[in-house]
Amino acid sequence: MSFSPSNAVRAARDETFSMLPESMDALAASVQSSREGSFAALGSAFLTRLPAAPVPDPYVIAISREMAASLGFDAQLADGPERDAFAAYFAGNPTRDWPSDALPYAAVYSGHQFGVWAGQLGDGRALTLGEIEHDGARLELQLKGAGRTPYSRMGDGRAVLRSSIREFLCSEAMHHLGIPTTRALALIGSDLPVRRESIETAAIVTRVAPSFVRFGHFEHFYSNDRIGELKTLADHVIDRFYPQCKAADDPYLALLDEVLKRTAELIVEWQGVGFCHGVMNTDNMSILGLTIDYGPFGFIDGFNAHHICNHSDTQGRYAYARQPQVGYWNLFCLAQALVPLMGAHLPEEGRAEKVVEEAQKVMEHYKTTFGPALERKMRAKLGLETERDDDAKLANALFDIMHANRADFTLTFRNLAKLSKHDASHDAPVRDLFLDRAAFDAWAVQYRERLSHESRDDTARAEAMNRVNPKYVLRNHLAEQAIRQAAQKDFTEVARLLDVLRYPYDEQPQYEAYAGLPPDWASDLEVSCSS
Ligand code: AMP
Ligand code: MG
């Protein structure tokens, strides 16, 4: 069974990609380095301009054609006579002298890492080239892994091929899942050696987003008591991304409220597909509520509510089940940083207390947003159209037996759509994922009872469920296969995975193997912070 985009829509969509002739020069010229209203225009308190450090003989590993089209150019540019120029440009190698006011830049920010104040951080290996405006949208282009910056601390400014493949693929996979995320345009490799636990090679991902501002940007100016710059930053974010806040009594309180809602909704999406971010430090929290900074992330295979995807997270601070609370904690850090801007509309007498009171009230919206949004998500995942009191209990009971049985997250929900509301004759595809068949059977009795209150038939329910329960996610072992081949200079698996993950909710019979359980060899795959 397939659903939207139907084949016709898909064909039309694909056709648009061959209608945008462009040249590398034209593309480079369309990247604006400090337009009015851009982050870059905020000036030197916020960023440092510097050229990227060139890499030897860069080559194109992959490109996202949807992203290229959204930026107004044809992805074939990366595959034709200008291939080398494309690779050089997106490696950060200067193709001509950079005019000094058009140099790329690294932004400064600070943050809390693993719950501890870490002080100044910043783009230690990311350089923003500028922004492209296309179809009314302004998007920033950023090279991750383009060399050292003033914020590199002890780091080498590089990113390795392995982690760059993961970031490139997951950015696009999340987008196709419908989950807010920074995007990826291109993945460029070089044989430049990079030392991690062993010697690896360098890669550069071109990331794309309307803004890369993080909670940590606000914490930076707050912690240094630079309230003027804090205000400049907040006004920039409001002007560009939350203009509706300007009309509020307190625009900065309204900003907190908006960011809080987006963050809550984002984390609901993560929980809904079994995604663990891995490093939810406040410097990795987007002010736009995007998934940002893909590191040791992971999609859960066999469900464990306390799954820790980051090998270095020994305390499990960022375990799956803790992500919602961590989001809330991080928002407190943002709230604290915004407090000095709040309360201008209040009488001076008692202002400080009132501001804190109001901010705390707004923080409560996290719970009133997150809870109901998670319930809606779980109802949709269970294929329930109507609401009944015990729905959350039913969902939790499923999670309990999934956890006890380490049932595969993605397959459990996907295969649940095959179950019939009438009898157990079609239970096998989901039931067989549970070692404790009796526990599943007991849950299925409750589930069927619940389905009996729904008017939808099995076919319609399955179709709706398949639109929210993906069949294809970037499982660690799939990324690992692409990484191992890429290390041998074979990039076909990267391209194939990008293709599979383009339609995560569709049946793609030619790619059935990509929807299966992880093979035995994958059980001891570990993903560390090193990237
Ligand atoms: P992360 O945990 O990857 O979000 O990184 C935390 C901070 O360390 C950020 O400021 C990064 O820019 C910086 N960083 C991470 N890796 C490197 C590296 N290899 N070179 C320079 N800076 C880095
Ligand atoms: Mg980061």
Ligand (nearest to CA of 297): 1
* DSSP line for 235-276: HHHHHHH-GGGGGSSSHHHHHHHHHHHHHHHHHHHHHHHTEE
Amino acid letter, residue 304: N
Please identify every residue annotated as catalytic.
283
Q: Residue 24: how many CA atoms within 13 Å on its side-chain side? A: 17
Interval between CA 287 and ligand 2 midpoint (Å): 13
Task: Output the pLDDT for position 13.
Answer: 52
Cβ-contact 168, 184 below 8 angstroms: yes
pLDDT digits (tens, 9 = 90+) for 333-372: 999 999 999 999 999 999 999 999 999 999 999 999 999 9
Task: Output the pLDDT for position 7.
Answer: 57
d(C-alpha 203, C-alpha 189), whole Å: 4
Interval between CA 281 and ligand 2 midpoint (Å): 8
Whether pLDDT at 8 is above 80 = no
Cβ-contact 131, 32 below 8 angstroms: yes
List the structure tokens of 115: 């719950």
d(C-alpha 200, C-alpha 49), whole Å: 28
Interval between CA 485 and ligand 1 midpoint (Å): 26
Pocket-testing residue among 152, 160, 214, ligand 1, by greatest number of atoms within 8 A of Cβ: 152
Query: Is there an atom of ligand 1 within 6 Å of 293 CB?
Result: yes
pTM over 0.75: yes
Q: From residue 531, give the alpha-carbon distance in Å to each of 58, 125, 513, 526.
A: 19, 11, 28, 13
pLDDT digits (tens, 9 = 90+) for 510-520: 999 999 999 99
Nearest to 464 by CA among 509, 424, 527, 413: 413
Whether pLDDT at 411 is above 50 = yes
Ligand (nearest to CA of 155): 1
d(C-alpha 16, C-alpha 517), whole Å: 35
Helix (H) or strand (E) holding 204: strand 199-209
The residue whose C-alpha atom lies closest to atom 17 belonging to ligand 1 is: 155
Cβ-contact 165, 294 below 8 angstroms: no
Query: Is there an atom of ligand 1 within 6 Å of 123 CB?
Result: yes
Tell me how many degrees the CA angle 89-94-99 measures, rounded to the nearest 5: 115
44 burial type by CB count under 10 A (0-12 exposed, 13-18 middle, 19+ buried): exposed
Q: From residue 181, give the alpha-carbon distance in Å to each of 134, 210, 430.
A: 19, 10, 30
pLDDT digits (tens, 9 = 90+) for 117-142: 999 999 999 999 999 999 999 999 99
Task: Output the pLDDT for position 52.
Answer: 96
Pocket-testing residue among 143, 151, 192, 318, ligand 1, by greatest number of atoms within 8 A of Cβ: 151
Query: Is there an atom of ligand 1 within 6 Å of 342 CB?
Result: no
Query: Is there an atom of ligand 1 within 6 Å of 150 CB?
Result: no
Enumerate the β-bridge partners of residue 142.
128, 207
Length of the chain: 531
pLDDT digits (tens, 9 = 90+) for 165-206: 999 999 999 999 999 999 999 999 999 999 999 999 999 999
Interval between CA 212 and ligand 1 midpoint (Å): 14
pLDDT digits (tens, 9 = 90+) for 313-334: 999 999 999 999 999 999 999 9
Rounded percentage of the chain residues whose pLDDT exceeds 90: 90
Mean pLDDT of the chain: 95
Task: Output the pLDDT for position 14.
Answer: 55
Q: Residue 34 — pLDDT band, cuts 50, 70, 90?
A: confident
Query: What phi, psi does 186 have (nearest 5°)?
Result: -140, 155
Compute the Cα dihedral for 399, 181, 301, 297 and give only its sign: negative
Q: Tell me which long-range contacts 321-327 makes (C-beta under 8 A, separation of at least 24).
A: 323/267, 323/270, 323/271, 323/276, 323/277, 323/280, 324/264, 324/267, 324/271, 324/370, 324/374, 326/280, 327/263, 327/264, 327/266, 327/267, 327/280, 327/285, 327/366, 327/370
Query: Is there an atom of ligand 1 within 6 Å of 284 CB?
Result: yes
List the structure tokens of 147: 């060399």
